[in-house]
Amino acid sequence: MKSATIGFAAAAVIVVAMVPSIACAQAPKKEPPVINPPPTAQDWADLAELPDWSGVWNPKITDQDAQVKTNPPPWNEAAARKVAQMFAEEKAGRPTLIFANCLPEAHPSWMLVTHNAMEILFTPGRVTMLGESDGNRLRRIYTDGRGHPQNSDPTFHGHSIGHWEGDTLVVDTVDILPEAPLAVSEAVGLPNNGDMHVIERIHLADKDILHDDLEIIAPHILTKPWKTTRIFFRQRARKFDIFEGVCATGDLVERVNADGDHVFVPVQKSEWGNTTAVPAK
């Protein structure tokens, strides 16, 4: 009788232990999240309802230069001292290299001080900005309803999400590397030092005039959010198409080596980036 009781108890333990396994086996499997669903024919058709931003967009450099004096960022005290020193060095012929080592201009400095053209491409769920000069000028603005990532992974251009308010694209960008500069020219700018947040309202101000209204929050170098507008004008002629460029080619020259192979050879440069010597052909 005692052995029977023990056997019954052991069987009960086995049954109880099996219950979670059975429950797990019967639980419905969760479908993996769809990150980038394939666009439908309607998604592509909806693009026709968006404003026409085709063509090549060039920055209005004269306005960039004017705003250095008319609408400077509200630098904090420490930042203002550094910026003043940069202006002095530039005036003395010793400009600081804000963009060096083939690193991206980054966001928002690309929008603020670029001298190069860009194209803007619309695809379902995304707006892509392609900048001339090198492959590092690339922005992806997600318009598919996603939010910012829960886990921060900072990059030079940050993580951008956007939505349309009429014909205006509203863009919110976070997760920008702290080393990314907030620049007012190619010789004056400071690392944002983290927690930078950029809000943009991009829209056509006229048929061939695009405005990017920026609000830049950089709490470690600014005393308050900085609002500024950058102007781009459209070129439609094919001769204005953007072309390939790689910043490192400015540090190299084309030569033919002893084996008859075409190669790139480094040139000598000063600390300010000026070429001081070129290898003989």
Q: What pTM was estimated for this model as a whole?
A: 0.82
Residues 180, 254, single domain; the answer is: no
CA nearest to 157, candidates 129, 133, 190, 116: 129
Task: Decide if 162 is inside a domain.
Answer: yes
Residues 260 and 168 in one domain: no
Q: What is the reported pLDDT for 155? A: 96
Same domain, 222 and 104: yes
C-alpha distance from residue 163 to each of 167, 171, 273 (Å):
10, 7, 41
- pLDDT at residue 281 in the model: 79
In this structure, is residue 161 part of a structural domain? yes
| Same domain, residue pair 235 and 258 | no
- According to the model, what pLDDT value does residue 26 have? 63
- What is the per-residue burial (b if ≥16 Cβ within 10 Å, else e) of 55-86? bbbbbeeeebeebeeeeebbbeeebbeebeeb
The total domain count for the chain is 2
Domain-located, residue 137? yes
Question: Which residues have CB under 8 Å from 51's CB, separation 6+?
Answer: 167, 203, 204
Q: What pLDDT is stored for residue 241 in this prediction?
A: 85
pLDDT digits (tens, 9 = 90+) for 148-165: 999 989 999 999 999 999
Q: Would 87 be classed as within a structural domain?
A: yes
Q: Do 118 and 220 have their domain in common?
A: yes
Q: What confidence score (pLDDT) does residue 141 get?
A: 98
pLDDT of residue 27: 65
Provide the mean pLDDT of the chain. 88
Residues 86, 128, single domain; the answer is: yes
Residues lower than pLDDT 70 in the chain: 1-27, 34, 134-135, 272-273
For residues 251 and 186, state if they share a domain: no
What's the domain range around 254? Answer: 247-277
Do 141 and 273 share a structural domain? no
Strands 138-142 and 159-165: parallel
My answer on whether 64 and 96 are in the same domain is yes
